[in-house]
Structure 1
């Protein structure tokens, strides 16, 4: 049987917490025998059941799969955490879709949604150029982005002119690592573009209240 309490980040409200079973939950448990690489056969206690988000404003229902006391997977899948503060709705929607695709193992789709996030940021801030790399370079003149980050980002295939085409070889080769790196880069750009300014304004407001 799976443990009663499971720790994870809610895919609905993004709060991390301890998820408890509901009173109506019926857990399923089973024992699996697996052979290790050294030939030793191990008995693995597995289980599945429904858990409820502890956030009273959410109470999302999650199906969890546990093996050996450790969470293996959940449905909906646990998402990479990110800060949604001060993000325009269109950009927020796009990055949420990118994270859902990544969690579902759809790494190509996730990378393309991250490309869309970056395109939307450039459009919102009026950064122009012949391609996405040029537009991001233009964006860096109005916000603080480490030059090393943009230089290293050139290695990401999603920034190429043809990265959005299904037939492109670069697109076909995108996997979990590049998808995850693209998300991390986008989070830093979003932070620099929208959230530093929001933090500054909040600090200024705090100073006014203190007076």
Structure 2
């Protein structure tokens, strides 16, 4: 983003409420140093600034760009990823899905769609689903794991999204949007939770009852 030095002015937009890209916690971000001002490129331009995470364990710095007309953040560094609880997730599945989240946060939507598809492949491999391709493996998964029919249908739709993204011959690969990948990530999170995390949550609940 190119900003003319002649239009830059010092200002203060105060604290900013957002989620920390370092520790993942929500918070009201404060100034890192008292004499570091925000910069504005004018009433129709952008505001640039830096804040610090209020979490005393983290204290990570966040660089932001804000639209001065709407006073909302539209870009940050590091990028803020969609939150994801990785407890109880096998390493290969966790690292693959986290790469999909990283791609999405950096606005690399085609790459994110491909990694979502790869996440499904890793889930099928981990659960021993068989087949010559991912479509057959997802069909096999229906007999191995207990999932709502809607999530199993969603897995097949996610397979198609990632497949379109991976092939340049597809007319759809260049049209994958933020909202399309965002809902795909939400569905993948639900599939992961249902397969790997609900059982652990139930075990924790039963342990609490036994110890109470």
TM-score relative to the length of structure 2: 0.82
Q: Which runs of 4+ in 1 moved over 4 A?
A: none
CA separation in 2, counterparts of 1:2 and 1:101?
32
Specify which of 195, 207, 210 is matched with residue 208 of structure 1. 210
CA separation in 1, counterparts of 2:127 and 2:35?
49
Higher mean C-alpha deviation, range 57-66 or range 21-30: 21-30
Aligned length: 199
Is 1:19 matched with 2:21? no
Q: 1:57 to 1:138 in 2, by over 3 A?
A: farther
Matches within 5 A, 1:1-211: 1-23=11-33, 26-32=36-42, 43-44=43-44, 46-68=46-68, 69-156=71-158, 157-158=160-161, 160=163, 164-210=166-212
Match of 2:8 in 1: none
Q: 1:65 to 1:137 in 2, by over 3 A?
A: same
Following TM superposition, by how much is the alpha carbon of 1:141 offset from its aligned partner in structure 2, in angstroms? 2.7
Match of 1:40 in 2: none
CA separation in 2, counterparts of 1:163 and 1:45?
34
Q: 1:67 to 1:177 in 2, by over 3 A?
A: closer
Conservation of the 8 A alpha-carbon contact between 1:25 and 1:50: no
Conservation of the 8 A alpha-carbon contact between 1:2 and 1:66: no
CA separation in 2, counterparts of 1:86 and 1:111?
23
Conservation of the 8 A alpha-carbon contact between 1:50 and 1:63: yes
Q: Which consecutive unaligned segments of at least 5 residues does structure 1 have?
A: 33-42
Q: 1:155 to 1:116 in 2, by over 3 A?
A: closer
* Structure holding more helix per residue: 2
